[in-house]
Amino acid sequence: MTTDVPLPAHTWPVLEEGWVWLCGAGPGDPGLLTLHAVNALRQADVVIYDALVQEDILSWAPQAEHIYAGKRGGKPSAKQRDISLRLVDLARAGKRVLRLKGGDPFVFGRGGEEAQTLVQHGVPIRIIPGISAGIGGLAYAGIPVTHRDVNQSVTFVTGHDQSGNTPGSLDWTSISKGSQVIVIYMGMKHIAQIAQQLMDAGRSIHEPVAVVTTATTDAQQVLETTLGTIVEDIAQAGLEPPAIICVGQSVLMRQVLDWQGMADGTPARNLDPLGRGRPAESA
């Protein structure tokens, strides 16, 4: 990746010694970095990065020390307390520290915990938002998180809590009844339980579901399925995390909005997947 492209004219913030910037790296594609993220990468002395941050993105910081602090379910991972306190130590050592997190640091990314630790220890911070996989990853799959003919609400949930289990605090009945579209982060491990809870709460076994793995990267895979068959279909397809799961009628829009497939020469499968019987511009 080229690192010498000048940033456009702007009063870009300076990453000072002893500061920590918590930055979202987006869902995977380096092109989805914000300019503030690129500016931060060019200034950092140390980049502490997560498992979902692509290696190409780190090439924007050749001058920095790169420290891996990835946390992946079921695999040996750094403890959250150790990561947070290491950020404190590096800042106190006078380093310009960039904490680079996949997606957005404040969307199921423990960014709030790390930022709070830093502030409690007197370390100055800056927050740089990133494109969350629950929005950007689905967009790369051709699935709009909101679509006027489908939903006026969307709910983002995590598929596991701090213990690694399905969050007991989630009221699946209320979520099922109150949100037309549900986007599930980190839900692959417990998808059988989650799907059953949604169906028990009233969602149809025929409800469209999409599973997008390694979203926005060259390795992206998309499975279109239903709540009733998702467990078997995931197993048959051999899909592995990381994945974003979308439940709702907006998944059907992929039949007409699979822009990556169309770019490769595959025509749209259905120009009216919602069966509205009218041109889109007349909506």
Which residues carry out catalysis?
50, 71, 186
Given the structure tokens 């918590």, which residue do they identify? 22
3-state SS, one letter per residue, for the chain: CCCCCCCCCCCCCCCCCCCEEEEECECCCHHHCCHHHHHHHHHCCEEEECCCCCHHHHCCCCCCEEEECCCCCCCCCCCHHHHHHHHHHHHHCCCCEEEEECECCCCCCCHHHHHHHHHHCCCCEEEECCCCHHHHHHHHCCCCCCCCCCCCCEEEEECCCCCCCCCCCCCHHHHHHHCCEEEEECCCCCHHHHHHHHHHCCCCCCCEEEEEECCCCCCCEEEEEECCCHHHHHHHHCCCCCEEEEECHHHHHHHHHCHHHHHCCCCCCCCCCCCCCCCHHHC
Angle at the Cα of 128 (from 163 to 155), degrees rounded to 5?
50
The whole-angstrom separation of Cα 280 and Cα 257 is 12
